[in-house]
């Protein structure tokens, strides 16, 4: 059965279904209970499940993330909500040195089935402190899985996939698309973790992206097709693991590659993808690869400056047209 709901509602529905299905699942984080979540994702869940399963935590990311790790080791299935991605840096020791390493350090004895959700990205005028896109950083860390749901379907399905995984999974929800609407088919089989999705088939160039940038790329693709350029748009969905097979297959089809990444360019996930294509499909390329990233500055507060710093459809179109001119 299919219904039209918002991204926010899709996540909330998935949380509700998971908690109803498995009594081990609980949600913890700052303002997730009485306030309903900083982006209203958990609105109403406290009333339904009570304070033992919807837990308002103190303002200490390191402490409550560590508590989530301990609960996971104890047999529970915790979902830790970190309000915004920049706050996750306060829990980085717990995430990187504990959650990601305990399976290895225990000689395979202790899995950490922990799910961590957080809002990511710019565009809401939250200035330099709350507009980061650090999902590419976390994709650098072995032992973690890093998911970037862009669609309503993935916003819903990735909660269940993450909870079913025996290892820690980080879900980065783009703050700009909580209000977006789309179809949720509750009968559709979820696409597995680590599998990219072709959102638009094309033959002239491949554009790889994820998160809220997907919709900017799809808008740009409409402009490009009107100008005779047929772009294939791929939603990566997962940054760790990356779907090498789908990426290389598309490169072999179009022979031109562009990556749109809201992270900063230096040391970014776009750099990793370009390196992999260079290693695995170099001779399929008819032109040098291109990438569009956020300008390497702390993101400004004024709307016009914030927009100028972020990837936008017109910039995507301009870069794609320039790439098509190269041979």
Q: Please provide the CATH number assigned to the domain covering 2-185.
A: 3.40.50.970
Model confidence over 189-241: pLDDT tens digits?
999 999 999 999 999 999 999 999 999 999 999 999 999 999 999 999 999 99
> Is residue 68 over pLDDT 90?
yes
Which residues, 6+ apart, have CB-to-CB distance to 23 below 8 Å?
Answer: none
Model confidence over 103-143: pLDDT tens digits?
999 999 999 999 999 999 998 888 999 999 999 999 999 99
CATH says 197-325 is which class? alpha beta
Is there a common fold for 2-185 and 197-325?
A: yes
> Is residue 18 over pLDDT 80?
yes
pLDDT at 186: 86
Evaluated on CA atoms 182, 185, 186, 191, the torsion sign reads negative
pLDDT at 327: 64
Give CA–CA dist 89/274, Å, rounded: 26
Model confidence over 158-172: pLDDT tens digits?
999 999 999 999 999
Cα distances (Å, whole numbers) of residue 134 to 117, 118, 254, 263: 13, 11, 29, 7
What is the rounded average pLDDT for all residues in the chain?
Answer: 96
Q: What six digits make up the tokens of 219? A: 């808008």
Q: Which residues are catalytic?
A: 61, 130
Q: In the chain, what are the domain boundaries? A: 2-185, 197-325
> Is residue 252 over pLDDT 80?
yes
pTM (two decimals): 0.96
Give CA–CA dist 129/193, Å, rounded: 30
Nearest CA-CA partner of 241 in 141, 112, 327:
141
Nearest CA-CA partner of 126 in 312, 303, 304, 313:
303
Q: Quickly state the pLDDT bin for 257 (edges 50, 70, 90).
A: very high
pLDDT at 326: 75
State residue 147 phi and psi, 5-degree precision: -110, 145
pLDDT at 74: 97
Q: State the distance between the two ends of the chain, measured CA to CA, in whole angstroms.
A: 47
DSSP letter string, 139-150:
TTSTT-EEE---
Nearest CA-CA partner of 75 in 48, 99, 110, 126:
110
> Is residue 310 over pLDDT 70?
yes
pLDDT at 219: 98
């Amino acid at each position: 059965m299919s219904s039209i709901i918002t991204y926010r509602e899709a996540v909330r529905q998935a949380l509700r279904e998971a908690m109803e299905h498995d009594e081990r699942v609980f949600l913890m984080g700052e303002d997730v209970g009485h306030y309903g979540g900083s982006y209203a994702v958990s609105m109403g869940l406290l009333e339904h499940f009570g304070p033992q399963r919807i837990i308002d935590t103190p303002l200490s990311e390191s402490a409550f993330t560590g508590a989530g790790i301990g609960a996971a080791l104890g047999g529970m299935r915790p979902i830790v909500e970190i309000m915004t991605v920049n706050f996750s840096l306060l829990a980085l020791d717990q995430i990187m040195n504990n959650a990601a390493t305990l399976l290895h350090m225990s000689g395979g004895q202790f899995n950490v089935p922990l799910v961590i959700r957080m809002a990511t990205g710019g565009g809401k005028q939250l200035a330099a402190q709350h507009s980061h896109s650090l999902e590419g950083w976390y994709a650098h860390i072995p032992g973690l899985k890093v998911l970037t749901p862009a669609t309503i379907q993935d916003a819903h399905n990735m909660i269940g996939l993450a909870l079913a995984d025996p290892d820690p999974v980080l879900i980065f929800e783009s703050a700009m698309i909580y209000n977006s609407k789309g179809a949720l088919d509750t009968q559709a089989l979820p696409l597995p973790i680590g599998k990219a999705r072709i959102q638009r088939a094309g033959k002239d160039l491949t554009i790889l992206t994820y998160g809220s940038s997907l919709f900017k790329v799809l808008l740009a693709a409409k402009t490009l097709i009107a100008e005779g350029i047929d772009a294939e748009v791929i939603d990566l969905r997962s940054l760790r693991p990356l779907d090498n097979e789908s990426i290389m297959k598309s490169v072999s089809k179009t022979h031109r590659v562009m990556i749109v990444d809201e992270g900063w360019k230096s040391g970014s996930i776009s750099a990793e993808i370009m390196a992999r294509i260079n290693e695995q499909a170099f001779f399929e390329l008819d032109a040098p690869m291109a990438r569009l990233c956020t300008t390497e500055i702390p993101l400004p507060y004024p709307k016009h400056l914030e927009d100028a710093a972020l990837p936008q459809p017109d910039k995507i179109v301009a870069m794609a047209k320039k790439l098509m001119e190269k041979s």
